[in-house]
């Protein structure tokens, strides 16, 4: 007998009444070549000129700053090591200047947009189309996932749209105990929501990881659905957001994918709360600027997005990269590549930051962020093999390069520090300072660029144009608190990301462990930050040799030396009523969205049910039999166990 049939009567009836999976409706999903002919979209500029504006602005700023630095160094000639430092400075400035230009573009659009302006009305939901809400899961706490799915279903029911959506859980779980819990969680979902259409499939061979999980779903059942809304285990969306995504896809037959810009919710630890505040305060600015210059060649982040299934099947089959792992073989960060493949085939891929009601969660601790970044860094570095592939849209290449630079920039920054430290040891203080950055005009320009999200958010807030925020002074407190956390953690993340960039080139695979969703007390691993502390000790020794080096290196050095206690301190979860919690309270903290609060209630109820079931499991069978007998006899007092 199937081990899963260890359930009560109603649950077993629910299982027998609805199949695990629907009848198969296969779609061909051929593997795409790395290089192919590009299908150009007629009648649209696809945002390339806008990207050109961004590049001109970024390169202009970089050129001015680099020329200024060169003029300082050229007073007594430029050595080879100084040329290396100058090149590293230019590379760092180019990357952060492009991010700054994107933020400025986003802020300019938000400043000119009416805060409560109505968007054009969309046609009613097409009842003939069917959308799969897809949850790829692997070794997760599925009770938390189904708690969110129940909340989504309830909102769709209230909106009268539940019949247009089906839930499909795609499991890659490898742990047998977790698999059993997973199946029971799905069964409880079916029992609690008998009107929901819920399907579940667990693979035993995890070929291709998450990308392979989704592609197998498309190959076996893709023909059943017009669209699929791809979720992560911690994703949530309101019914309004889901319905609008479907309506937009119905209205735009040339669009293959629409990516929302999710807000972070449910952050408890100081680390997660700073990430949540930053995403809520600056995410809309970046997202708006990114959507502007991307045009129809937007990007895909793997979740909280809707996909046209037929287009995805026909054109987004991932190629295998040449060479062996960790940089060859199966593509880990599949989403960027899938977006580029869809665009190459002539489909529009859009980013929609204006759609509200899309949520996800942040890793709770600095340790968890480091672990996630190692996986993401390896996946993005694989994309280096695709930059020269024939047929990709220039804007798609820009997204791919941005993903690489998101991690490679950490190595560039660290390399610049090492070069500066070497110059501080080998050269007189005045010469070393030229590359080290004690010229205050250069420092000021760099700070202006790096801090652009913060001062742009401040300007938008002051004019009442920052989405979701009112003009209360509490925002200023949050801005300062987030800055106080991000400043010391940036050097720590720099070292971790630099390691993550180097490791794949040394043949070390990052692995693929599940993302932490809940902080575990005392789980911070001080040994993980040993490289940071070693780097800090090296910088201390350098400052002893050259005191001028300390002018700009001291803040970085202190952060690196204190990496372990900083990580431990930021894993602290303040009480919700405390001033520390409210210091970085986001609009979603102060007024919890209905779908988020419903998911929380569902999770609490499920946990209570599990606790009751566990307590019942330890009651002796004789006591249960006696209680049943007492119940039949009407002796209610004896029946209470």
Q: Spell out the domain ranges in the chain.
A: 595-639
d(CA 375, CA 514): 10
pTM: 0.90
d(CA 198, CA 548): 65
Spell 147-174 as b/e; 16+ CB within 10 A means b: bbbbbbbbbbbeeebbebbbbbbbbbbe
Residues 110 and 465: beta-carbon distance below 8 Å = yes
Phi, psi of 49 (to 5 degrees): -65, -30
- The pLDDT of residue 126 is 78
One DSSP character per residue, 306-324 reads EEEHHHHHHH-PPPPBSS-
Q: What separation in angstroms does the CA of 341 have from each of 390, 404, 491?
A: 11, 18, 35
Sheet hosting strand 236-237, strand order edge to edge: 236-237, 358-360, 263-264
The pair of three-digit structure tokens given for residue 199, joined into one six-digit string? 């399907």
Strand 305-308 versus strand 263-264 pairing type: unpaired
Residue 245's SS3 state is helix
Residues 164 and 131: beta-carbon distance below 8 Å = yes
The pair of three-digit structure tokens given for residue 219, joined into one six-digit string? 């190959």
Residue 210's SS3 state is helix
Residue 303's nearest CA partner among 252, 272, 339 is: 339
- The pLDDT of residue 511 is 63
Cross-strand partners of 308: 227
Cβ of 444: how many Cβ atoms within 10 Å?
10
Residue 34's nearest CA partner among 386, 314, 326, 325 is: 386
Q: What separation in angstroms does the CA of 356 have from each of 242, 252, 261, 510?
A: 10, 19, 8, 34
Residues 15 and 190: beta-carbon distance below 8 Å = yes
In the chain (641 residues long), the average pLDDT of successive 10-residue segments reads: 36 47 95 91 72 94 89 79 92 94 96 77 82 94 93 96 96 91 93 94 87 95 97 96 96 96 96 96 96 95 97 96 86 94 96 96 92 90 92 94 94 93 75 52 86 96 94 95 96 95 87 60 66 93 82 90 94 93 95 96 89 71 51 42 32
Whether the CA torsion 469, 473, 474, 477 is positive or negative: it is: positive
Q: What separation in angstroms does the CA of 345 have from each of 48, 248, 258, 409, 609?
A: 17, 20, 16, 31, 49
Stated as kind and residue range, the H or E segment containing 562 is: none
Contacts with 80 (C-beta within 8 Å, 6 or more apart), sequence order: none
Residues 60 and 90: beta-carbon distance below 8 Å = no
Helices 530-545 + 474-505 axis angle, to 10: 100
Residue 614's SS3 state is helix
Stated as kind and residue range, the H or E segment containing 162 is: none
Contacts with 432 (C-beta within 8 Å, 6 or more apart), sequence order: 420, 423, 424, 426, 546, 548, 549
d(CA 605, CA 185): 12
d(CA 450, CA 538): 25
Cross-strand partners of 167: 133, 198
One DSSP character per residue, 113-141 reads S-TTPPPPP-PPP-TT--EEEEEEESS--
d(CA 200, CA 21): 6
- The pLDDT of residue 551 is 75
Residues 219 and 313: beta-carbon distance below 8 Å = yes
d(CA 588, CA 592): 5
Rounded to 5°, angle at Cα 316 from 315 and 320: 115
| Angular region, 27: left φ>0, alpha ψ -120 to 50, beta rest | beta
Helices 80-112 + 270-294 axis angle, to 10: 80
The pair of three-digit structure tokens given for residue 299, joined into one six-digit string? 């990007």
Q: Which residue has the tokens 């002919």?
A: 37
Residues 302 and 334: beta-carbon distance below 8 Å = yes
Phi, psi of 632 (to 5 degrees): -65, -30
Phi, psi of 349 (to 5 degrees): -125, 120
One DSSP character per residue, 253-273 reads TTEEEEEE-PEE----SHHHH
- The pLDDT of residue 93 is 93
The pair of three-digit structure tokens given for residue 72, joined into one six-digit string? 């300082």
Whether the CA torsion 247, 248, 254, 260 is positive or negative: it is: negative
């Amino acid at each position: 007998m199937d081990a899963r049939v260890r359930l009560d009567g109603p649950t077993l009836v629910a299982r027998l009444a609805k199949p695990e999976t629907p009848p198969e409706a296969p779609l061909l999903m051929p593997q795409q070549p790395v290089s192919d002919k590009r299908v150009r979209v007629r009648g649209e500029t696809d945002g390339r000129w806008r990207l050109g504006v961004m590049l001109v602005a970024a390169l202009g700023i970089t050129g001015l700053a680099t020329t200024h630095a060169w003029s300082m160094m050229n007073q007594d000639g430029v050595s080879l090591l100084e040329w290396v430092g100058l090149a590293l400075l230019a590379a760092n400035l180019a990357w952060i200047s492009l991010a700054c230009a994107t933020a400025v573009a986003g802020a300019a659009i938000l400043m000119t947009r009416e805060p409560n302006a109505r968007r054009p009305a969309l046609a009613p939901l097409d009842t003939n189309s069917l959308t799969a809400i897809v949850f790829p899961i692997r070794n997760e706490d599925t009770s938390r996932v189904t708690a969110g799915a129940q909340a989504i279903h309830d909102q769709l029911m209230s909106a009268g749209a539940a019949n247009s959506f089906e839930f499909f859980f795609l499991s890659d779980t490898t742990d047998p105990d977790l698999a059993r819990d997973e199946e029971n969680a799905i069964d409880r979902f079916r029992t609690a929501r008998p009107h929901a259409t819920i399907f579940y499939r667990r693979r035993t061979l995890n070929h291709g990881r998450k990308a392979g999980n989704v592609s197998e779903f498309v190959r076996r059942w893709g023909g059943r659905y017009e669209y699929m809304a791809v979720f992560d285990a911690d994703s949530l969306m309101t019914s309004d957001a889901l319905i609008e995504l479907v309506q937009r896809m119905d209205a735009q037959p040339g669009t293959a994918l629409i990516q929302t810009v999710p807000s972070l919710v449910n952050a408890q630890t100081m680390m997660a709360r700073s990430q949540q505040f930053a995403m809520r305060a600056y995410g809309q600015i970046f997202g708006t600027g990114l959507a502007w210059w991307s045009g129809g060649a937007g990007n895909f982040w793997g979740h909280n997005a809707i996909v046209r299934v037929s287009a995805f099947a026909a054109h987004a089959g991932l190629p295998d990269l040449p060479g062996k792992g960790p940089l060859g073989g199966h593509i880990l960060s599949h989403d960027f590549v899938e977006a580029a493949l869809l665009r190459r085939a002539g489909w529009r891929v859009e980013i929609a930051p204006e759609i509200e009601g899309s949520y996800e969660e942040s890793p709770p601790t600095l340790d968890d962020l480091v672990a996630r970044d190692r996986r993401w860094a390896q996946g993005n570095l694989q994309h280096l093999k695709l930059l020269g592939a024939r047929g990709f849209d220039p804007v798609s290449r820009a997204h791919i390069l941005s993903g690489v630079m998101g991690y490679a920039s950490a190595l560039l920054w660290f390399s610049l520090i090492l070069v500066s430290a070497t110059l501080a040891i080998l050269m007189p203080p005045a010469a070393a300072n030229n590359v080290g950055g004690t010229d205050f005009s250069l420092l000021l320009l760099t700070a202006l660029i790096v801090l652009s999200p913060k001062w742009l958010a401040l300007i938008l807030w002051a004019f009442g144009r920052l989405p979701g925020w009112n003009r209360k002074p509490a925002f200023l407190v949050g801005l300062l608190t987030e800055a106080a956390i991000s400043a010391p953690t940036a050097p720590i993340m720099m070292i971790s990301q630099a390691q993550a960039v180097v490791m794949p080139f040394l043949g070390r695979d990052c692995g693929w462990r599940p993302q932490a969703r809940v902080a575990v007390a005392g789980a911070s691993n001080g040994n993980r930050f040993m490289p940071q502390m070693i780097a800090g000790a090296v910088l201390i020794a350098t400052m002893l040799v050259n005191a001028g080096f300390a002018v700009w290196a001291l803040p970085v050095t202190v952060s690196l030396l204190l990496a372990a206690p900083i990580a431990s301190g930021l894993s602290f979860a303040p009480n919700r009523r405390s001033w520390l919690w409210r210091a970085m309270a986001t609009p979603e903290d102060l007024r919890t969205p209905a779908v988020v609060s419903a998911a929380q209630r569902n999770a609490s109820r499920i946990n209570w049910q599990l606790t009751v079931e566990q307590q019942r499991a330890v009651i002796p069978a004789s006591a249960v039999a006696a209680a049943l007998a007492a119940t039949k006899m009407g002796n209610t007092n004896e029946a209470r166990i």
